[in-house]
């Protein structure tokens, strides 16, 4: 009987926690992607580009620096799956979606800041990334993305 309880505590509880992490993590991630899609659609009138120079036929003024930062944390399930991937190699899809969420959130926040200042263009956009925590084995961490660019009011002169 003691062996049965030991088995439940040593194997059963970690499996239940991993499965709960999978279900809850996927729900949170899916909800975040849905909210991002709505916010991106609301910002479609603001042009965002990484090109250094404006086209010659554009007139732009009122340049201001805009930024957007996002830190998205990983969960222990993703860390556990990534550990398995290290054994066999291959893509770590869970981490790819983590970086995608952070990148899109940072760009949306930057674009919202530009729109709030009356700008319709964010030019020369740059992204910076870093990891936060999680450097030690089996520790959850996160990814930080900072998006910045020059916001302006631009019109086509043709």
Reference 100, options 61, 65, 129; nearest CA is 129
Q: Tens of pLDDT along 97-152?
A: 889 999 999 999 999 999 999 999 999 999 999 987 755 655 667 889 999 999 99
Q: 49-107: per-residue pLDDT in tens?
A: 999 888 888 888 889 999 999 998 877 677 767 667 677 777 777 778 889 999 999 99
Q: In whole angstroms, give the CA distance from residue 157 to residue 57.
A: 5
DSSP letter, residue 121: E
pLDDT 10s digits, 138-150:
566 788 999 999 9
Q: Is 115 exposed, middle or buried (0-12, 13-18, 19+ CB in 10 A)?
A: middle
Beta strand 58-73 pairing with 141-156 = antiparallel
d(CA 35, CA 105): 10
Domains of the chain: 2-156 (3.30.110.70)
């Amino acid at each position: 009987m003691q062996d049965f309880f030991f088995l439940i505590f040593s194997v059963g509880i970690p499996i239940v926690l991993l499965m709960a992490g999978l279900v809850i993590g996927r729900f949170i991630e899916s909800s975040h992607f849905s909210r991002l899609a709505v916010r991106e659609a609301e910002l479609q009138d603001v042009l965002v580009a990484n090109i250094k120079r404006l086209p010659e036929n554009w007139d732009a003024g009122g340049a201001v620096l805009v930024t957007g930062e996002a830190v998205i944390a990983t969960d222990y399930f993703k860390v556990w799956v990534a550990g398995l991937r290290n054994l066999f190699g291959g893509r770590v899809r869970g981490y790819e979606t983590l970086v995608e969420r952070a990148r899109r959130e940072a760009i949306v926040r930057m674009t919202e800041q530009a729109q709030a200042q009356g700008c319709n263009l964010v030019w020369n956009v740059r992204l910076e990334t870093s990891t936060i925590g999680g450097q030690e084995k089996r520790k959850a961490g996160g990814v930080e993305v900072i998006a910045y660019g020059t916001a302006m009011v631009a019109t086509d002169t043709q």
